[in-house]
Amino acid sequence: MLTMVVRGLASTTTQHALAEMFSAYGRVFDVRLVTDIFSGQCKGFGTLRMEGHEARAAIAALDGSTQGGSFIKVSVDDGRKRHRR
C-alpha cells in the first residue's frame, strides 16, 4: 500500500472528484482532502492510498497533468514533515 500526495489542486476540487480521478488506475482505499475550515474549499492538496502497482500507474499518468485548470503534482508520501520557509 502506498500513500500519495497530490498538490496543486483547484479550490473547487472535492473528495469525490479526487477519488474518481485516481480510480481509473485502481482501487482507492483512502482519500483525504485538506479543506479550509471556514469555506470548506480545497486548500490545494490531499492524500490517497492505493496498492503499490496501481499507485505507480496513477503517478505516471497524472503527475504534471492539468486538472480543473491547475497543474497537479503527484508523488509518493515519504512520511517526512515539510516546513515552508
pLDDT tens track, the chain, 85 positions: 999 999 999 999 999 999 999 999 999 999 999 999 999 999 999 999 999 999 999 999 999 999 888 899 999 988 766 545 4
The pLDDT of residue 85 is 47
Please, is 50 exposed, middle or buried when counting C-beta atoms within 10 Å of its C-beta (0-12, 13-18, 19+)?
buried
The pLDDT of residue 67 is 87
Q: How far is the C-alpha of 65 from the C-alpha of 24, rounded, in Å?
A: 15
Cell reading at 48: 490517497
Sequence letter at residue 4: M
What pTM, to 2 d.p., does this model score?
Answer: 0.85
Place of cell 514533515: 81
Q: Does domain 2-76 have CATH number 3.30.70.330?
A: yes
The pLDDT of residue 30 is 95
Give the three-class secondary structure for 17: helix
39-to-16, 18, 29, 35, 43 alpha-carbon distances in Å = 17, 18, 26, 8, 10
Residues forming a β-bridge with 31: 48
How many CB atoms lie under 10 A from the CB of residue 41? 14
